[in-house]
Chains A and B, each alone.
Chain A
């Protein structure tokens, strides 16, 4: 999952690094307000937990290959437990340590990894989570469903973002077509995202049944509720746009002219060449099977995620009922 050095161009790495640095700095400032001197132990421990949790392998019996396995990414999980700001920082710390201690993920590409996994995963993921939870009435079911859906979307958004970065890096090559890579990446990751959604959902369900007070609530820290609403809206918008673009893009016949105009005004000399490719009619270049695979994988993934929500919600309620039945005996 981690982007190594040499995959993306230096310009893209620097641009992503600047964005990540800004998001990281802002998260840090917000965090100092909300967690105060509890920041260091809580965030440090969360980072250590994600790091350790990524060592637990989830076997995938894909195509009969027994040794393939996946692991947790953890952005949404960290955000649900500690809140978006601390979650973003915890995931960033994990990425820094993996880079400098394991050579996992590149040095130059650190900014890219932070953007794709910590910023999109935690900040964007939390925005989706908060939205879904609010819609479902802020209860345990909303928390569970929000976490599961956010986890799935965060993986897809990360893969869509990566395709975009990759496309921008190699836009110089004339024969290179970004959208095909995009189709490939997004179809694969909507399946991988189901795994992430399941793990995140099970862990949140487990914590909800055992220690629901451990989960972050925006009301608990006084300043949390009011100010970030604008930021949350922006993050939510970006996240949804990425995820929707991933599935709707293959169907769109053309983008609104505004987008083309903006890209013209920005005058990216490199982009100029690929602009034709990026915003041209989709029907002409994207073959039918790719269109089908993207939307099919999106539909199947969404169904799987809804099923996970349903199953885990039922098991959570069973567990809560059992716990409630236990109380009188104590």
Chain B
């Protein structure tokens, strides 16, 4: 599962070497432009879209990866935008639907670019230097650290469950066991947080996170 996160963040390319703040700004600008330019200026949208894809190819993000992400994203957005004409009785709302489809796709691909050129640790350092309060960055880094631990734990519990129950079980059982899985995970996570907090206190934790890049 961890292969989904920061997958191409370690690539070496022009895009990856850009200053982190510029990356954030570029993405933000792209999303803002895509959202605020009216749909009737469609050539501008075409230019933006091709710019985003050029960015992806410079960053060496493989096309199959993009296609896979879009294959998950597009059906959802299609359904959502289709709900406009459906709720209007197929008489109106088609224009809104087209605008939504185009804008969301553009913004999504632009966000994917940011995700793939900015590893999470770099993002945290950038956020620290911007206006984000220290405690938020500390919580974010703590969260990022333990996502992987909890995923591993969850996988273990899943394997154990599958070993205990042979083959298919009915829907009700599956719901019940999935809910119990989360409950168990919650108890373990909270106990772990207490232990970790104890260990942090033993090492002089005073509510401030210190990192190597502190000058």
Contact = CB atoms under 8 A, between A and B. Distances in A.
B80 interface: yes
A41 B142 contact: yes
B179 A41 contact: no
Contacts of A303: none
B174 interface: yes
A58 B120 CA distance: 29
Interface in A148-205: 170, 173, 175-177, 180-181, 183-185, 198-199, 202-203, 205
A99 B118 CA distance: 13
Contacts of A136: none
B151 A52 contact: yes
Interface stretch (A3-11, A115-123, A126-134): A3-11
Given A4-B107, A5-B107, A203 B36 contact: no
B179 A198 contact: yes
**A interface SS class:** helix
A294 interface: no
A49 B135 contact: no
B115 A181 contact: no
A199 B184 CA distance: 13
A45 B145 CA distance: 9
A43 B137 CA distance: 12
A6 B207 contact: no
Interface in A10-41: 10, 28, 32, 36-41
Given A4-B107, A41-B197, A45-B193, A89 B178 contact: no
Chain A CB count within 10 A is highest, among B27, B35, B92, B185, for: B35
Contact of A207 (B136, B154, B186): B186
Interface residues of B, number: 87
A46 interface: yes
A47 to B, nearest CB: 4
B5 interface: yes
Nearest to B101: A6
B112 to A, nearest CB: 5
Interface of B: 1, 4-6, 27-28, 31-32, 34-36, 69, 73, 77, 80, 83-84, 86-89, 91-93, 95-96, 99-100, 102-108, 111-112, 114-115, 118, 120, 123, 133, 135-136, 138-147, 149-151, 154, 171, 174-176, 178-187, 189-194, 196-197, 200-201, 205-207, 209
Interface of A: 4-7, 9-10, 28, 32, 36-49, 51-53, 55-59, 61, 72, 77, 81, 89, 93-94, 96-97, 99-103, 106-108, 170, 173, 175-177, 180-181, 183-185, 198-199, 202-203, 205-207, 210-211, 214
Given A175-B88, A198-B175, 6 more contacts: A6-B35, A48-B144, A89-B139, A97-B143, A198-B179, A214-B186
